[in-house]
Amino acid sequence: MSSMRKKVLSSGFMLFIGVATIIGSLSYRIGTLIHMGPGFYPLMLGICLVIIAGLIFLEPPQSQDMKTQDIEIKTVKKNNYLLTLRGVFFIVTGTILFAVLGEYGGLIPATFCSVCVAALGERSNTLAISIVLALLVTGFAVAVFHFALQMQFPLFRWG
């Protein structure tokens, strides 16, 4: 199957799922950003899927050199299962940490720890890079979810 045909089929399928999600969400109350209804999240998810489908379809074709590099990278990754397991372990651990610390620690510790641990799943990331990334994402999460959207997720919770 040619790469253009794969691109058209994958973007078409994603577009179909996105439009179906948008249509399905319209049967529920949408609400606002502050008071979201049950149809808000599916509507936003559908819109994101439609946008991503458009981006996949509009992606410029790759040159032959880039295709050769992709094959070489895939071969290296295919032969190194430990790198894959490392990423899976750290990302799953980060997600579990967010769930536990979100319940018992609040937004700031949950976001910081989960991002810091998940970032360590990338082999090239050092602890310092992971901490800087965690600080930036935590600051963004506090600004968006606590101040802008005023979600009822405490910044800190003890116990």
Q: What residue spans define the domains of the chain?
A: 3-61, 81-148
* pLDDT, tens digit, 9 for 90 and up, residues 87-125: 888 999 999 999 999 889 999 999 999 999 999 988 888
Of the chain, the percentage scoring pLDDT greater than 90 comes to: 45
Mean pLDDT of the region 61-81: 56
Banded pLDDT at 29 (limits 50, 70, 90): very high
* Average pLDDT over the chain, rounded to an integer: 84
* pLDDT, tens digit, 9 for 90 and up, residues 32-67: 888 888 999 999 999 999 999 998 888 776 655 555
For residue 111, count other CB atoms closer than 10 A to its CB: 26
Question: What is the per-residue burial (b if ≥16 Cβ within 10 Å, else e) of 42-73?
Answer: bbbebeebbeebeebeeeeeeeeeeeeeeeee
**Greater confidence, 128 or 69?**
128
Banded pLDDT at 154 (limits 50, 70, 90): confident
- Phi, psi (rounded to 5 degrees) for 31: 80, -160
**Greater confidence, 119 or 81?**
119
- Token pair 């179906």 is at which residue? 20
Residue 60 confidence (pLDDT): 73
Mean pLDDT of the region 20-40: 90
* Angstrom distance (rounded) from CA 117 to CA 143: 21
